[in-house]
Amino acid sequence: MSEKICVITGASSGIGAALAMLLATQGDTIVLVARRESELNAVAERCGDRAVAMVADVTSRAAVVRVVQDTIARFGRIDVWVNNVGQGISLQPSQLTDQDIDDIMTVNVKTALYGMQETLEHFKSRGEGQVINVSSMLGRIPFATFRSAYCGAKHFLNALTATFRAEVQATHPAIQYTLVSPGVVRTEFGLNARHGGVDSRTLPNSQSAEEVAEVIAKVMTTRQPDVYTRHGARQMVLDYLSGLAADIS
């Protein structure tokens, strides 16, 4: 089966929009999901007749259920679900409030959990499927103190993805849960952070959204469980972990 039916959340801009346009050129059918209707429709228009826009706020489980049901009703199946919704926060850990934690966990973890859970029975019925969770290098190395809650949420997402994969693949090995970890991406992510933030497009050592989209599109074919989007990122993580703690002597 060459053509895939792909659902992308957070598709109105940034990585999600870039991925949608790339997949459209490859002949896939894309369901674009986001809250901002006008921006979402603009991306769908650029993708051509292979794209459908579904306005939804995926911080609501009911909205995710609706997208799953509407996609299956329209296209008969879902092949790939990309959890791409995320938001940063610009606040030192000593200053975090309960509401900050609740909001960042909802956007970065619960949205992905809803996508994984609500597609599960459909994937089990077909015996195959793939969920791709967009994480971050900050989910491996928490080097930005002002992104403390975001770092924690992405660490949670990484663990959730790994354990969800282990549970499901114990009985359905053809269902894959892939984790993709970009570094700094030239999008409006920083500007859209809670409490404001620096423009990610001005930071050094960044990638374009299109470069990250190419990695995500590739893992739809390779079905690797865990990938970074930049060369050298894996070694950075290994170096960090090797110097983190000492064995008991």
What is the Cα–Cα distance from 142 to 80, expressed in whole angstroms?
29
pTM, two decimal places: 0.93
Judge whether 170 lies within some domain.
Answer: yes
State the CATH number of the domain containing residue 144: 3.40.50.720
Please indicate, yes or no, if residue 249 is contained in any of the structural domains.
no
228 is catalytic: no
Closest by CA to 81, choosing from 64, 96, 95, is 64
- Res 37: pLDDT: 95
Range(s) of the domain holding residue 181: 5-242
Q: What is the largest CA-CA distance in the chain?
A: 63
Q: How many domains does the chain have?
A: 1
DSSP 230: S
Assess if residue 247 is contained within a domain. no
Contact indicator for 139, 161 with CB cutoff of 8 Å: no
Q: Which of 114, 150, 177, 228 is catalytic?
A: 150
pLDDT in tens, 165-220: 999 999 999 999 999 999 888 877 777 788 877 767 777 677 899 999 999 999 99
Tell me, yes or no, whether 248 lies in a domain: no
**Residue 128 lies inside a defined structural domain of this protein:** yes
Determine how many CB atoms are found less than 10 A away from the CB of residue 130. Answer: 21
- 89 lies in a domain? yes
Kindly report, residue by residue over 74-93, the tens digit of the pLDDT: 999 999 999 999 998 999 99
